[in-house]
Each structure stands twice: as structure tokens, then as C-alpha cells.
Amino acid sequence: MKEVKCINRRLRIMKMKNNMSRFLLTYSSVTGNTRQVADAIHQILPEDTTFCPVSEAPPPEDFDLVMIGFWTYRAGPDPAAARYMETVRNRNVAFFGTLAAYPDSDHARRVIAKAETLLSGNRILDFFLCQGRLAPERLAKRLGGEQADERHPMTEARRLRLLEAEKHPDARDLALARERFQMILEHYRREANS
């Protein structure tokens, strides 16, 4: 609670120093799913938003609102996104991610918890997750049972989940991502102007 008050105070001071809000939208994506979601979110953000892959992202201190996208690796944000997330402190933040699992699953909740831990010390406004198709070679291995083990047996439920992931991100996911970030933007602006 004390930490949150402290962050809020610092954010108010930042706002007083510079009335123009600076936005960063950055993402990590290997096969393009998270990039697609980032592109959709980019459409609803102001024109002067800095938009780039996380490998090229400027220091987070340069921004008032930092939005970070990741693909899921071993039940958490991928290493490149995670490294950047660890450098973000005392900012307004929002994150988004893609994963093979269902976004309302326990697995997804673990991913969210890891992202929140990486972003601790910030004010997290909200987040968005959706499924994302697996790289074809990885999917083939999974469906072929090559990567099945005791922890990840190839059950019928798992097979169906992977096949569903193949359809994502779809138009609905992208619309939901835009909608969620529109709300995040409105939330940010309301607070910045209060």
C-alpha cells in the first residue's frame, strides 16, 4: 500500500513536470502472433506513440505509459520481454501476451502472475491475453507425441486446445485487444487529468 502511494506520488510529479504524456508500445514476437496483437493495439493509440520491438525499445523512463507485449515461454513472459519488463519501474504499465493455452486457464493465471511480478514497482492498469498458434514444427512435435511427458501428456483436451490455438489470434481477439487498450487509455487519461 505504502509502495503504491509512493508510485502514485512520483507519477503525479512526473505529470506536473510535463503535461504531454509519452506512450511506448513495445512487443516481443518470434512467429508473429504477438506482433499482430501489437499492430491492432497500435491502431487505437495516439500517432506519436513510440512503437517498436522490445529489442529496440528506448529506456522506459522516457515514457509515462509503457505497454509491453510478450509471447509465452515456459509459463511466463518470453526472455526478451521479461528482461525489458525488469527494467521498468515507477511507471504506468499495461501488458498483453499470446499463449497456446486458454487465456482463462490456470496456466494463463500463472503467466499473468509472472508478468505482474516482473512489473512489480509499477502501476499496472490492466492486461490482455489471447491464444496464439504454435510454430508449425513445434505443433507437429506436440501432436506427434514427441514432446509428451508425465507433466504434459497428450490428452484429448490438450490436442483440442492446440488445435484451437491454431485459429488465433483471430479477428475477435484483435478487436478485444483494441477495446481493452482503449479502456486502458481512457483510464490513464482520466487519472492524469484528475
Among 8, 9, 30, 145, binds ligand FMN (CB under 6 A): 30
Q: Establish if 31 lies at the interface with ligand FMN (CB under 6 A).
A: yes
Q: Which of 21, 26, 33, 92 binds ligand FMN (CB under 6 A)?
A: 33
* 53 counts as binding ligand FMN under rule CB under 6 A: no
Residue from 10, 7, 51, 54 nearest 29 by CA:
54
**Distance, CA of 105 to CA of 48 (rounded, Å):** 36
Phi–psi pair at 93, nearest 5 degrees: -135, 155
Q: Point out the residue whose Cβ comes nearest to ligand FMN.
A: 132
44 contacts ligand FMN (rule: CB under 6 A): no
CB of 178 to ligand FMN, least distance (A): 17
Subset of 73-102 contacting ligand FMN (CB under 6 A): 73-75, 98-101
- Residue-wise DSSP of 100-139: SS-TTSHHHHHHHHHHHHHTTTSEEEEEEEEE-PPPHHHH
Q: Using CA of residue 160, residue 165, residue 170, residue 174, what is the dihedral sign?
A: positive
CA distance 177 to 154: 30
Q: Which is nearer to ligand FMN, 21 or 131 (CB)?
A: 131
| Binding residues for ligand FMN (CB under 6 A) | 29-35, 71-75, 98-101, 107, 132-135, 138
